[in-house]
Structure 1
């Protein structure tokens, strides 16, 4: 299998190295990733300037790796141009969970979505981050199990996977949808300049069998997604 790997944390992230190691169990891997961190970039596409790529300064054993001066979605578009035989795009492993509403702005998931828009299966992978970097060896077997499950099916699809720090098994889930406070907290830096923080405290607990609930209960969450955002129920009231 021909695999393209990217992320939004950048080419230097230990998460992409962990994913590349796992991908070698399934075929030939190639890496095309941002040259700097692009977290929460969503599905931004660069169109106001040209893109370029360079050989990665980080060596990935047995893998061609390049860094791009663009967004995660840019990396996938350029990567599929460079490697048109790609059969699946893996994005991650992100340093931080991408659950519920965070799917809307996740650069990790955007890379997987860009793959599907271009006709290639896309899988986003993320894990929780505490006060220190994740211990990728603790989730290594579950990364392989998850990819075993999803890569066995060759049909086009989009999937979002989240790994708790100490998984106990894999669970299929739906996206958690809940409201947040969205408060804006003003502050001041040492130079006397005003700044603001936007809080994202949830207003309700996670719903059972959602991605967030699963990870909170130490399950690996796999959520199948679709690109069509149409509210079919509401649409039928106008037809």
Structure 2
């Protein structure tokens, strides 16, 4: 199995080094990641300038690693073009959760989605990060167990996995779609200029069976996703109540 490892935190993140090390247990690995942090980049792709890649000076236990002047999705497109016949793209381990509606702007998940768009399996992996870096050594056994559950499963193409800081088990979950609030927090920089931070936090408690609920209760959340965003229920109602012709 040929595995491409990427992220949105950048080539220098300890999370990607931890993931690459675990990925070696499942196949041949190459690392291609952004040269700078691209958090919350979503599924942006670079179309107005050329992309370049350079070999990274950072050691990944002897693995080839490259940094790209682009987004997470760029890294997958370029990496799988150069490294032909890639089977799986692993994205992470992101330092920050990608739960519920946060999936919409996640650069980590976008890299996995880009893999699926190109005909490969995509798996995103994330964990909360506070004032200190996550303990990736503690998470490693659960990362391996989660990958064992999904990486060879022919029925799963796009998977979003989130790890609590101290996992006690794994759960299959669905996405929490309860409301989030996008809040602007103003401040003043050292030069006395106004600046603003955009932050998001949940307005409602997580419902049982969802990704948020699992992680809040100590479980690794494994959520199968799909690229088709069609609302089947609303489409059916629209066809029945408001027929259109053209």
Instruction: Give the TM-score band, short-chain normalised.
Output: over 0.9
Using the alignment, how far apart are the partners of 1:182 and 1:56 within structure 2? 36
Change (3 A) 1:117 1:156: farther
1:201 is paired with a residue whose SS is strand
Listed as ranges, the matches of 1:42-121 within 5 Å are 42-121=42-121
**CA-based RMSD:** 1.2
Deviations 1:110-130 (A, max 9, x none): 000000000000000011112
1:238 is paired with a residue whose SS is helix
Change (3 A) 1:199 1:148: closer
Contact persistence 2:101–2:180 (CA under 8 A): no
Q: Structure 2 length normalisation: TM-score? A: 0.94
Equivalent position of 2:243 in the other structure:
none
Using the alignment, how far apart are the partners of 2:95 and 2:183 within structure 1? 25
Equivalent position of 1:160 in the other structure:
160
Listed as ranges, the matches of 1:6-25 within 5 Å are 6-25=6-25
1:174 correspondence with 2:174: yes
- Alpha-carbon distance, 1:199 to partner: 4.0
Structure 2, unaligned stretches of length 5 or more? 240-246
Query: Quick check: 153-162 or 94-103, which moved more?
Result: 153-162
Deviations 1:17-65 (A, max 9, x none): 0001100101100011101111000000000000000001101123111
1:148 is paired with a residue whose SS is helix
Q: How many residues align?
A: 239
- Alpha-carbon distance, 1:179 to partner: 1.5
1:38 is paired with a residue whose SS is coil
Change (3 A) 1:216 1:23: same
Equivalent position of 1:238 in the other structure:
238
- Alpha-carbon distance, 1:182 to partner: 2.8
Change (3 A) 1:174 1:188: same
Contact persistence 2:76–2:115 (CA under 8 A): yes
- Alpha-carbon distance, 1:155 to partner: 4.9
2:181 is paired with a residue whose SS is coil
